[in-house]
Amino acid sequence: MVEKLPENIEMPKQKLIYGFHAVSSRMRHHPATVRELYVDEERHDPRARDFLALAKSVGIIPRKLSGQRLVGMTGTARHQGVVAVVDELEQRMDLFSLVEETGDDLVLLVLDGIQDPHNLGACLRVADAMGVHAVVAPRDRAVALSPTVMKVASGAAETVHYLTVTNLARTLRELKDMGVWVVGADDQAKDDLFSVHLQRPLAWVLGAEGAGLRRLTKETCDQLVKIPMWGSVESLNVSVAAGICLYETRRRMPDARPSVVAGDGSGMR
């Protein structure tokens, strides 16, 4: 006899994630959400052994499959021999509660319609490295947290709040009403990054690949700045631009001291 679940209980949605960083981060931070774990039966290297030790430490028993089976599951050969079926994490953090709780220390990264999953993953990784409190994006016309995003983010999708909103321009206006200084990166701006005063709390707004900031988003910003360029290229990848803007912001904070220095074996991969 099959026991029926009460009708008012909603089962969590599930998805695939893959790659050592993404799956390891999920096991460390939310082990109860890992429903199934698969590893490449041919991998016996130190990295794979460390991964299996982590799984054992949190009580997760993996199944061993061929590399081709894992390719069939993920649709890519870049799974690194590690695939997990996980529950989707609920968006528990409310943006405006976060603003109130964080106060003047707040730094947000707002992404205006990023379509490339690799760019979103890289932006999340940059946001984590620079201590950003949340990444904000529109719910529509933007890439979702797909397995590719999770892998490129290298665990940052588990540590940085990713908050989606229905109307980005309205959200920016509401942030301004709460005292957040909204700065948009725009290559046609008159002011450059190194000459402007970056007030806090602060929200950086960066646009989609190629198109940049949408007109209404641009008009809603308190200030527009450009990144000084000395070479011949006309534009930067959005994650690179985010890294430059956020690093300059963090550099100016007298109370900011990094806990990890890039290049010490844990800051750069």
Task: Output the tens digit of pLDDT for each of the chain's 269 residues.
Answer: 444 444 444 556 888 888 888 888 788 878 988 999 999 999 999 999 999 999 999 999 999 999 999 999 988 888 999 999 988 776 556 888 888 888 888 999 999 989 899 999 999 999 999 999 999 999 888 888 888 898 898 888 888 989 999 999 999 999 999 999 999 999 889 999 999 988 889 999 999 877 789 999 999 999 999 999 898 887 789 999 999 999 999 998 866 555 544 544 444 44
| CATH homologous superfamily, domain 95-251 | SPOUT methyltransferase, trefoil knot domain (3.40.1280.10)
Q: At a CB cut-off of 8 Å and minimum separation 6, what does 198 contact?
A: 181, 183, 248, 249, 252
Dist CA 236 CA 228 (whole Å) = 11
Residue 169 corresponds to which tokens in the numbers above?
């321009």
Boundaries of every domain in the chain: 14-87, 95-251
DSSP state of 155: T
pLDDT for position 143: 86
Residue with tokens 């509401």: 174
Query: Partners of 250 in the beta sheet?
Result: none
Direct distance between the N- and C-terminal alpha carbons of the chain, in angstroms, rounded to an integer: 51
Is the sign of the CA dihedral 118, 120, 126, 131 positive or negative?
A: negative
Per-residue confidence (pLDDT) for residue 9, from 0 to 100:
41
pLDDT at 162: 92
**Two tokens at 234?**
């006309």
CB of 66 within 8 A of CB of 42? yes
Whether 108 contacts 179, CB under 8 Å:
no
Helix (H, G, I), strand (E, B) or coil at 26: helix
**Dihedral sign, CA of 234, 239, 240, 243?**
positive
What is the domain class of 14-87 according to CATH?
alpha beta
